[in-house]
Structure 1
Amino acid sequence: MNDVLVDLGAVPMATASSAVVVPMQGGAEPPPGEPEFGKASPVALVVILLLGLATAFLIRSMTKHLKKVPASFDAQPDEPADGDAAGPKQP
């Protein structure tokens, strides 16, 4: 594994070296003649399709719940509002 020194800049401590060893990303080059891409695409396609299906079901469920919401949240004259234990007001 290759290591790379990374300079962190000015460090308030009085040390002689202010570097950290960080392993490099990446791996060995693929052998000649083999494609470098396409190995994860079937798995990614399945994940994307499952996410799309879950999103469709969530939208359908949300639409059903939103149809139950009243057009207005004003208190009806025959129903007591929250905190009104006495019931509707009499004129």
Structure 2
Amino acid sequence: MSDVLVDLGAVPVAASAHAAVVPTQGGAEPPPGEPEFGKASPVALVVILLLGLATFFLIRSMTKHLKKVPASFDPEPQGDADGSSSGDAAGPQQP
């Protein structure tokens, strides 16, 4: 294996057979007098707006589905107090 180093914008930590590479911070410094903020792409604004719109529609859809959920999942009573049941009983009726 040859000992050829390629400049990847990183600083090697140790010069051994198993050297670790640590990336350096920063990049090209802006020219003096220019602000460092406000350089984001307009695509980022579009992505953020689309995420907000998708969130709005997801919340609206979940609200509609939650309105269909019953207040309680307890089983409904199967008859009156005297034990008679309506004609829509799921099980066999006893004589």
TM range (shorter): 0.5 to 0.7
**Structure (1/2) with the larger strand percentage:** 1
Match of 2:11 in 1: 4
- What are structure 2's unaligned runs of at least 5 residues? 1-6, 79-89
1:82 matched residue in structure 2: none
Question: Rg: which structure is higher?
Answer: 2
TM-score where L is the length of structure 2:
0.56
Name 1:53's counterpart in structure 2. Answer: 53
Secondary structure, counterpart of 1:71 in structure 2: coil
Q: After the TM superposition, which parts of structure 1 deviate over 4 Å for at least 4 consecutive aligned residues?
A: 16-19
Pair 1:32–1:73, CA change in 2 (3 A):
same
Q: Which runs of 5+ in 1 are unaligned?
A: 8-15, 79-85
3-state DSSP of counterpart to 1:57: helix
Identity of aligned residues (%): 80
Q: Please show how residues 61-76 of structure 1 align to structure 2 within 5 Å.
A: 61-76=61-76
| Greater RCO, 1 or 2 (C-alpha within 8 Å, sep 6+) | 1
> How far apart are 1:56 and its partner, in Å?
0.9
2: CA distance, partners of 1:19 / 1:33? 39
Change (3 A) 1:46 1:76: same
Deviation at 1:30, TM superposition (A): 1.9
C-alpha RMSD of the superposition:
2.9
